[in-house]
Structure 1
Amino acid sequence: MNFDTKYLIRWGIPGWIMVMALLPYYIIIYFDFFSDHVVNSSDLLAIGAVLTVLGVPLGYLLNQIHHSVFWVLPKLIFGSWSKYFNEELKVDDYIANHKNGAEKKERYRYLLTRKHELGGFMVSLFISAFVIGLSNVIGRHHHHWTWWYFAIVTFLFLIILLSRQYSSRNIEVYHDHYLKGKD
């Protein structure tokens, strides 16, 4: 099996971002609990190692949520998978037969990768903001900083959403251009 470390990093980033967004919040909220249970540096190191390892499958799951919610379901509900698959075949044929096909293929691959990377990151921040907001309401955390923390994570989510929308539109333009076979 040929496994490239870029996938490990690509899948890990959304999970690690979620851990980095939620962990400080919950450490501060439940500081007494953590200070009672994390008594030395080896405990902290063990927790860090576990969270680092868990970030990869969590990130992979977040990427799959993004793919299903923003790619698979819309094609199922508003379009058709077979139509899209046929369009992709036409785009592949256009790229393969173009004199600069290798460069076009790399650009198209980059744009798709960027869109999906940002999508996993976006889902991670959305779920983190949702969990923090829900914790603030249900947990009745009436500290001003908890709502500031929620606002910061939400702001980061909105920035990544904007960036993902840009990347998504960019890949749509390329897809449509390649589909028409212009050049």
Structure 2
Amino acid sequence: MKFETKYLIRWGIPGWVFIFWIFYEVLFLKNITLLDIKLVEMTKGITLLISLTALGVPLGYLLHQIYFGYAWVTNKSRNKNLKKTVRKIGNFPRHPQWGNNKDEDYFQFEYVWHAVLLNLDAEKRAYVEARYRHLLSTIHGLGSLFISSGLSFLMTGAIILTNLAKAPFTLFFWIGFAFQLVIFLCAILNYFYFSRNLTAFQVKILKTYL
């Protein structure tokens, strides 16, 4: 079975990020110093880390599915955004039952988009496809990272609440917590930025070639 590198990266990163933050927080929550770890314990730790690295890909795939289901399948605002996009295009060819089913509306938009691409000459089509693929892949990657960071952030909050009275929260723990929050917020901001970028790109292309 051929497994492309892009899927390893797309699914691996959110899984690895989630595992990293949990591993990082537990390490400093238990006040473990790497210099004090014995060789046998270090070997076990490395074995565990390798196992967690392998686990990151299927875990990342599941996180990607959670993101896709939340942001694309069940997201009610997606239909509103689609209607706004179509109104900007003006002469968009709507199907007869337009507005009755959000999924059918989106499928029509995808059909028209790809039909326009097929009518372009080879050089223009190659550029537009590459740009579209880059923006869409970036959006999905950021969406998965957002879900991964959000879930790990919630788990960190749970760790803090359940260990607030007894755990020695070190400076490194709080530094990690701050970085985790920054990555979470940046993933959200970048996700919406690239989503707007993709919408604007599609609108301009469709207005030009429809």
TM-score range, shorter chain: 0.7 to 0.9
Identity of aligned residues (%): 33
Q: How does 1:61-76 map to 2 (within 5 A)?
A: 61-74=62-75
Contact 1:94–1:181 (CA<8 Å) still a contact in 2? no
Unaligned runs of 5+ in 2: 81-101
1:85, distance to aligned residue in structure 2 (A): 0.6
Contact 2:31–2:168 (CA<8 Å) still a contact in 1? no
Report the CA distance shift for 1:124/1:37 in structure 2 as closer, same or farther (over 3 A).
farther
Letter in 2 for 1:115: I
For residues 89-126 of structure 1, the C-alpha deviation after alignment (integer angstroms, 9 at most, x for no partner) is: 10001111112112101110111000001111111111
1:91 is the counterpart of 2:109 = no
1:119 is the counterpart of 2:117 = no
Aligned twin of 2:25: 25
1:60, distance to aligned residue in structure 2 (A): 0.7
Q: CA RMSD, aligned part only? A: 2.6
Q: How does 1:137-156 map to 2 (within 5 A)?
A: 137-140=161-164, 141=167, 143=169, 145=171, 146-156=173-183
Contact 2:29–2:168 (CA<8 Å) still a contact in 1? no
Report the CA distance shift for 1:161/1:181 in structure 2 as closer, same or farther (over 3 A).
same
Higher Cα Rg: structure 1 or 2? 2
Partners of 2:197 and 2:69 lie apart in 1 by 20
Partners of 1:120 and 1:88 lie apart in 2 by 22
Farther-moved stretch of structure 1 (133-142 vs 44-53)? 133-142
For residues 130-158 of structure 1, the C-alpha deviation after alignment (integer angstroms, 9 at most, x for no partner) is: 11012111332473644553332112110
Letter in 2 for 1:162: L
Contact 1:96–1:102 (CA<8 Å) still a contact in 2? no
Aligned twin of 1:47: 48
Q: TM-score, normalised by structure 2?
A: 0.76
For these two proteins, the number of residue pairs brought into alignment is: 182
Partners of 1:149 and 1:45 lie apart in 2 by 21
For residues 66-100 of structure 1, the C-alpha deviation after alignment (integer angstroms, 9 at most, x for no partner) is: 11111111259846011001100100011111121
Structure with the bigger RCO (C-alpha within 8 Å, sep 6+) is 2
Aligned twin of 2:88: none
Report the CA distance shift for 1:120/1:17 in structure 2 as closer, same or farther (over 3 A).
same
Partners of 1:6 and 1:142 lie apart in 2 by 40
Q: Which consecutive aligned stretches of 4+ in structure 1 deviate over 6 angstroms post-superposition?
A: 35-38
Report the CA distance shift for 1:139/1:157 in structure 2 as closer, same or farther (over 3 A).
same
Letter in 2 for 1:175: Q
1:106 is the counterpart of 2:130 = yes
